[in-house]
Amino acid sequence: MATVKKDINENSEKIKKVKRIVKKRIEELEYKEIEQTLISDDVCWKDAHFSCPENTVRLGTLFSGIGAIEHAFQRLGLKHKIVFAGDIEPNCKKSYFANYEIDEKDWFCDIRDFDAKKYKGQVDFLVGGAPCQAFSMVGHRLGFEDARGTLFYEFARVVKETKPKVFLFENVRGLLNHDKGKTWHVIHDIFEELGYDVKYRVLNSCDYGIPQHRERVYCLGFKRKTEFKYPSPIDLEYVMYDFLEDYTNSKYFLKEKGIKFVTSHKNRMKSYTQINGDIQLCQKRNQQFNWHGDFVFHPQAVDENPDEKFDEFIFDVKDVEEKYYLSEKVAKYVLAGGTKNFKTSTKTDLDIARPLLQSMHKMHRAGVDNYVTHKGRIRKLTPRECLRLMGFKDSFKIVVSDTAMYQQAGNSIVVDVLIALLKQMDITKYGEYEN
């Protein structure tokens, strides 16, 4: 697998050619307004029924990852056949083959070497989300100058070679405003030139049943003209806590350095981190190593024996930032009942800690400042929890390391959004009836 640096700077003759084509197209662009497709105001997709449930939908996927669309078909119980799939990451192949049925001959590693002509007319639905770092707000935003940005052309090439009835191209929201909208303009025009009726809209996973803020562009291309409108949002019935595991290994709990970073004022005020949030900020591919994100606070039970491997603090970190933690020595002082000449209340454990006084550094007694004594631990999300927050049920087999699983989950498409799209477009009518 090529390194990130090599991917960005790679400059093969093929990529140079793509860059020249893109540059020329951008120079020749005539501005036009490309409005997002409307949201449906008809019957909610949740109540819709598939018109041809006996049909088998033939799937082709690019940048397949861990198979979000495949898992969506599994969850819906729809008949489907995987025509081809592929990913450049070897660990993705391990996960994919452990969870889906596919012949070895129909798997490819590098899309740039994939000849899809032999699959012409054999694909009903083509799905792919090209690497988004080239357009992401948190990436270099080099667009087509980044070799990963040119992979869009590989997606378009496979559309041209296979001629699917419908395709879905997914990417980050930043794609729409990259280079003042010119990048999206080029992509949209190319899809139309391939003969497709193009629809697109930004959808957030928290509007479709998953408590995660994850906005992505979902671009659909229909071989025939259609009046398709995007699925309407539904009320969120669950919060992130509902997706957590009952038991977690001690290796997922943060040490002191991690806790101080996660609970720092700067990170929490800027919403880089949150603890026990109802809706996940946005799942990341480097979840294991990134201290920007979502964390869970575990209060220690009254009858629980403290583990020496965990740091214990006086303040519940859900309400109070790290700089207000009290050491054991200071805690004994401020929570004492007083001295011979000064008596004070030792009442603690209010539901919400009041703002601490500016004179806190003087360590007043409990009667002056309010304290809580909920001892607990902070941990990151487990790989299984990350999968759940991407819409993967526990039936999905984990066969790779934690590091690989975090990356794969963070790179995936949210399954529940795909389910909403499949129901809204009635994907079964694009399938084939097999005796």
The residues assigned a catalytic role are 132
Q: Are 350 and 359 in contact (CB under 8 A)?
A: no
Q: Are 410 and 64 in contact (CB under 8 A)?
A: no
CA distance 194 to 167: 12
**Cα–Cα nearest to 310, from 390, 410, 378:** 378
Tokens coding 287: 């979840």
Q: What is the DSSP string of 255-272?
A: -HHHHHHHT-HHHHHTTS
Which alpha helices (H) appear in 381-426, and where do they start and end? 383-388, 402-411, 415-425
CA distance 287 to 390: 13
Q: Can you give 286-348 as a three-state secondary structure string?
A: CCCCCCCEEEEEEECCCCCCCCCCCCCCCCCCCCCCHHHCCCHHHHHHHCCCECCCCECCCCC
Distances in Å between the alpha carbon of 432 and those of 56, 162, 413, 420? 5, 16, 25, 21
